[in-house]
Amino acid sequence: MPCPDVFVQDVLYSVQRKGLHFDGYLDATRPAVLDADHCLTVNYETFLFADAANRERFLADVREHCGLLTDPVSKRRFRPGPDAPRAEHAGHSWFFESRANRDMFLRAPDDYRLPGYTM
């Protein structure tokens, strides 16, 4: 069940409901396809793609293409470098500023599923 707008966690649902449209990530000349096969979430950021090839290109080197991310533990924005600690949880990739943050996340990953921001 999608979350209410105050806590927008189901991005595709919210985007479709509001009738929004976006350019594809990595190919701004074409519109993003708004379905689960063309969408990726990394940390708290969502990336929408125009086709499967661009999604696969992104997945081949997430650190190269993702730009700034929010560390789920510290909540600071950072650009993950080649040595940035990484974890997989609940079908999503997570990157961290430090190994200590990754280790804290791995002890209770569901505590960091939502960014905890309020509006």
Instruction: Give CA–CA dist 71/76, Å, rounded.
Output: 6
Q: What is the pLDDT of residues 31-40, one digit of tens each?
A: 999 998 999 9
Q: Collapse the DSSP code of 64 into the 3-class scheme (helix H, G, I; strand E, B; otherwise coil) and give the result.
A: helix
Q: Nearest 10 degrees: CA dihedral of 73, 71, 101, 99?
A: 170
Helix (H) or strand (E) holding 99: helix 99-107
Question: Closest by alpha carbon to 42, among 80, 15, 69?
Answer: 69
Q: What is the pLDDT of residues 57-71, one digit of tens each?
A: 999 999 999 999 999
Q: What is the pLDDT of residues 8-31, one digit of tens each?
A: 457 888 888 888 899 999 999 999
Q: Collapse the DSSP code of 69 into the 3-class scheme (helix H, G, I; strand E, B; otherwise coil) and give the result.
A: strand
Q: What is the pLDDT of residues 73-113, one digit of tens each?
A: 999 999 999 999 999 998 889 999 999 999 999 999 999 87
